[in-house]
Amino acid sequence: MTRALLGMTRYDVRDRVLAEQICRACVDGLDVHGAAISLLTGSPSRETLWASDPTAELLEDLQFTLNEGACMQAASTGSPVLVPNLNDSTDAQRWPVFAAAVAEQTDALALFALPLQWGTINLGVLDLYRRTPGGLSGDQWRDAISAADVAALMMLGVRTEPGDGDAHGDGDGWLDPASSARAEVHQATGMVLVQLDVGAEVALARMRAHAFVEQRLLIDVARDVVSRKLRFTDDMA
Amino acid sequence: MSRAVSGREQLVSRAFIGLADTLVDDYDMIELLDRLVGYSAELLAADAAGIVLGDAKGTLRVVASSSEDAELMELLQLQNDEGPCLECYHTATPVSVPDLDDAARRWPGFTAAVRARGAFRSVHALPLRLRQESIGALNLFHSRPGPLPEVDLALGQALADVATIGILQERAIRQGEVVNEQLQTALNSRVVIEQAKGVIAERAGLPMDVAFDRLRRYARSSSQKLSDVARSLVERDLDPDLMLTATRASPPALPRRPGTPTR
C-alpha cells in the first residue's frame, strides 16, 4: 500500500492531483468504500481537494455547511477521529447535527478522519468512509495511518519542493521517513523559523532548497543547523 | 538505614503525586512521560532513561528521555533492529542485561553501540503493558553492571504502568479507537515540541536540553499544557522573549557547553 503511494511520480504535481492519487490508492488498498481529502485551514479556504464518489463529496460538503463533523474535529485537534458506527449515540453526540444529516442523506455508516499533520502544519484531512459499521482492524489501521503519514509527507514535500520540480528523485532524503522524522529536522525547523522570521513550512522549504543547492541530504543540513555550523539568513542562496 | 528508606519513600510519594497531577482533565501526555522518565531515573538510580512507543507500524519512536544526548537517542532508536527494548516490546515482559559483556552474542549491534559510548554497563527494559501486549517500553541505563533488585523492578513496572494508564486513560482500554487516536496524537505532539525547542534554542542561544527545561518551566508556571505552549511558540502566537523573561529566574545556571554562544 505504502509502496504504491511512494511509487507515484512527484513531478508536476499540484495538491489536487496528489489528493486524487492518494484517495484512489486508499480506496483500492484499504477496505473502505470511499475517500476524500479536504483543506480546512482558515475558514475562507475550506475546500474539498478530491472525493472518490458522490457520498464522499457529500460528507465533506455537509461538514462545511454545518460547520461541524469528524473531519473538522480531526483538523482542529490534529488527532485522528475514528467513528466505527455513526449510529452509536456516544460518538454522534459530538456532532449531532452532522450525524443526523449523514444518516438522512448518505449511506455512510462508519467514518475515519485522519489529519495530514506535520507538527503544527495541517495539510488537510483524509476522510475514509464505509457503508457498513465497524472499526478498522489492526492491519487496516496500520495501513490507514501509513497512508496518512505518506500523504502528509508527500503534500508537504510538494509544498516545500526544492529546485524546479523536475524529477531528481528524492534528492534530499525528504521522502525517507527515517530521515525526515528525525528530531534534528524538527529542531532545525524551529531554529530556522526564528532566523528567517517565517513560518515552519517556509523554514522547511528553505532548508530543503539549501540541501538541493549544496547537494546534501536534508538531515545533514538539519544537523549543521542544530550544531550551529549553519545559520540561515535572508540573503542566502 | 531508616533514613535511606524514608528518603526513598519520599521520592516515591513525590513521584506518584507528580504523576497523579497529570492524570486530571486536560493533562498533557508528553509532560507525563517526561516526568515519568525523570522519576524513573531518579528512583531506580539509572544514569539515563528513555521511553519509546510503538507507532502504528510497530516502529519504536522515542517520546521522552532523561537527557538530550544525541548518543542516548541513538541507543534508544537503534533498538528498532535489536536490543532489550525491542524484545521487551515484542514479549511485553521485562528484559534485563545486568552485564553488557554477556549480551554481545544476543545483540551484537546494540552491545557494540553501547560499548562505543562507554558510559553504560547494564541496561533494563520494562514494558508499558496493555493486557497481553505492550505499547512501548521504559529503558534504563546504568553505568555499573548488576541486576535490577526485585524492589526496583516492581517499582519500575509500577511507574511504567502509570505511564500506560496515563497514555490510554481508563475508558480507552475498552475502545480500540481511542487508543489509536491518542497514540497518534502523542507522536505528533513530539514533533511540535522538538520544533519549539529549536525556537527557544535559537532565540536564547541555549542548548536543546536547557531550551526544553525553560519550555517545561514556563508551561508549569503559567498552568498551561506543554503541548499548547510549544504550539504557540511554533505558530508564533507566543513571543519567545516573553516566555524566556518569565522563566529567567532559575536554579543555578547550567554550565555552558564550549562553543555555545552566550547571547
Domains of chain A: 2-159 (3.30.450.40), 163-237 (no CATH)
Of B208, B234, B240, Cβ closest to residue A200: B234
Q: How far apart are CA A98 and CA A26, in angstroms?
A: 24
Confidence at residue B8, expressed as pLDDT on a 0 to 100 scale: 73
DSSP H or E stretch at residue B133: strand B133-142
Q: Taking CB atoms and an 8 Å cutoff, what residues of chain B touch A118?
A: 191
For residues A110 and A87, what is the distance between their CA atoms, to the nearest angstrom? Answer: 9
The residues spanned by each domain of chain B are: 2-168, 189-246
Q: Which residue has the higher pLDDT, A160 or B168?
A: A160
Poorest-confidence range of A63-72, A183-192, B43-52? A63-72
- Chain B contact present for A189, CB below 8 A: yes
Residue A164 C-alpha, separation from nearest chain B C-alpha, in angstroms:
27
Report residue B233: phi and psi, to 5°: -65, -45
pLDDT mean across residues, chain A:
85
In B, which residues are within 8 Å of A176 by CB distance? none
Whether the per-residue pLDDT at A166 is higher than 60: the answer is: no
Among left, alpha and beta (phi > 0; psi -120 to 50; other), residue A19 is alpha
The residue whose grid cell reads 505532539 is B189
Question: Could you tell me the pLDDT band of residue A157, with boundaries at 50, 70 and 90?
Answer: confident
CB B169 within 8 A of CB A64: no
**C-alpha distance from residue B44 to each of B4, B16, B142, B148, B150 (Å):** 14, 14, 9, 8, 11
Task: Tell me phi and psi for residue B50, to 5 degrees.
Answer: -150, 155
- Judge whether A59 and A102 are in contact, CB under 8 Å: yes
pLDDT (tens digit per residue) in A20-55: 988 999 998 888 999 999 887 555 557 888 999 999
**∠ at Cα B184 (A160, B76), nearest 5°?**
85
Least reliable range by pLDDT among A84-93, A120-129, B49-58:
A84-93
* Domain B189-246, CATH among 3.30.70, 1.10.10, 1.10.3110, 3.40.50: 1.10.10
Residues of B in contact with A117 (CB under 8 A): 188
Q: Could you tell me the pTM of the whole model?
A: 0.68
- Lowest-confidence range among A3-7, A62-66, B116-120, B130-134? A3-7
Query: Closest partner residue to B234 among A79, A120, A136, by Cβ?
Result: A120
- Using a CB-CB distance cutoff of 8 angstroms, which residues of chain B are in contact with residue A79? 181-182, 184-185, 188
Cβ within 8 Å, pair A80-B260: no
Q: How far is CA B235 from the centre of its chain?
A: 25
Contacts of A141 in chain B (CB under 8 A): 56, 180
**B188/A135 CB distance under 8 A:** no
Q: Do A190 and B196 touch (CB under 8 A)?
A: yes
CA distance A37 to A16: 9
CA atoms of B141 and B156, how far apart (whole Å): 13
Interface test with A, best of B180, B185, B229, B235 (most A CBs within 10 A): B180
DSSP A80: -
Tell me the pLDDT of chain B (263 aa) as tens digits.
455 556 777 777 877 776 776 666 566 778 888 888 988 998 898 999 999 998 877 888 888 999 877 678 778 877 778 899 999 999 999 999 999 888 889 999 899 988 888 889 999 999 999 777 889 999 999 999 999 888 889 889 988 988 887 777 644 544 667 677 877 888 888 999 999 999 999 999 999 999 999 999 999 899 899 999 999 999 999 999 988 888 876 555 555 445 445 44
Nearest to A218 by CA among A228, A208, A227: A208
Q: Which residues of B touch A120 (CB under 8 A)?
A: 192, 195, 231, 234-235
How far is Cα A190 from Cα A210, in angstroms, rounded to an integer?
Answer: 16
How many CB atoms are located within 10 Å of the residue B223 CB? 7
Domain B2-168 superfamily per CATH: GAF domain (3.30.450.40)
User: Per-residue DSSP letters for A112-127?
Assistant: EEEEEEETTEEEEEEE
What count of other Cβ atoms lies within 10 Å of the Cβ of residue B145?
15
Question: Between A79, A191, A200, which is nearest B202 by CB?
Answer: A191
CA-closest candidate to residue B8, choices B57, B32, B44, B36:
B44
Residue A140 to chain B, least CA–CA distance (Å): 10
